[in-house]
Amino acid sequence: MGSTGSNDEARPTGAAPRVVEGSPHALPMLLRAALPSVPGLGALPGIRKHGSELPDLALTRHDVPIDPGHVAAYADVCGFPHKDTVPLTYPHMLAFGLHMAIMTDSSFPFPAIGTVHLENAITQHRPVTSTEKVQVTARAENLRPHAKGQVFDMLTTVHSAGELVWEETSTFLRRGRGDDTAPAGSTFPDAPPTGIVWKLPADLGRRYAAVSGDHNPIHLYPLTAKALGFPRQIAHGMWSKARCVAMLENRLPDAVRVEVAFKKPVLLPGSVAFGSRPLEDGYAFSLTSPKSGAPHLAGRTRGL
């Protein structure tokens, strides 16, 4: 598992990308994502997920505009300052609809609901300005064994006028029969708490969903989270990463790689302790429980 063996992101390969016109609508796709998990419905033709291989499917959007108002709303939720360039994690917002379109495609073998985001690695080659139009491409690759089932990577690239400016590897787990001999996940340097504690409100998942389009029910309300096995709603992993990056962003170079592993869920409302320390080539950072020290997120940055 993990995608940290190289400083270069894996480039999408294979079949030519299928062009998606306009922005995919997140809520209808989330409904399609939920249907395979509904008892009775999940076995129906056209809804049932089956197969053992990832499809050779890549999706791309051309000339994607960046909405400065949306960037500002995202920055406010995640703690970034308002600037002429978008936050380092923001292009994930431009790709989320493509990710959902791939995972809800009839050729995709796993239900999207219940798939666990384990790791995320972003390489920013240069900051992206809010006035640029970009090309966003995504595909799923590298299905492989894991101790708790199988994992795969969702690969994303963002180009501006032909220049590769941003890329991302999100690693997802589909629980099932595991393989104890499978490689372990990425490891990160320790970053003990430094006294900074964030109190997170109950509506944080709904606020982040409003700007990200990720309305997965585990993030919204106690009732919807309990239906999927959580005691109450949990924070989005990509919010947790973004909030950490926001704490470090004025110390990061323009060309930088930021990698994280998501550990224990952050229950809402709740509190998390932020930690960071400098490394020779960047920073290590973490989120932990202020009471127990249980890990929620571990990560690091590297200048390119």
Q: Which residue has the higher pLDDT, 211 or 110?
A: 211
Find all residues with CB under 8 Å of 187, minimum gap 6, and list them. Answer: none
Please write the tens of the pLDDT for every residue from 111-121. 888 889 999 99
Average pLDDT, the chain: 88
- The predicted model gives 162-173 an average pLDDT of 97
- HEC per residue, the chain: CCCCCCCCCCCCCCCCCEECCCCCCHHHHHHHHHHHHCCCHHHCCCCCCCCCCCCCCEEEEEEEECCHHHHHHHHHHHCCCCCCECCCCCHHHHHHHHHHHHHCCCCCCCCCCCCEEEEEEEEECCCCECCCEEEEEEEEEEEEEECCEEEEEEEEEEEECCEEEEEEEEEEEEECCCCCCCCCCCCCCCCCEEEEEEEECCCHHHHHHHHHCCCCHHHCCHHHHHCCCCCCCECCHHHHHHHHHHHHHHHCCCCEEEEEEECCCCECCEEEEEEEEEECCEEEEEEECCCCCCEEEEEEEEEC
136: buried, middle or exposed (CB in 10 Å: 19+, 13-18, 0-12)?
buried
pLDDT at residue 209, as a whole number:
96
- The predicted model gives 174-182 an average pLDDT of 84
Q: Is the pLDDT assigned to residue 4 strictly greater than 50?
A: no
pLDDT at residue 202, as a whole number:
97
Q: Is the pLDDT assigned to residue 177 strictly greater than 90?
A: no
- Residue percentage of the chain with pLDDT more than 70: 86
Contact of 217 with 225, CB cutoff 8 Å: yes
pLDDT at residue 6, as a whole number:
39
Please write the tens of the pLDDT for every residue from 254-265. 999 999 999 999
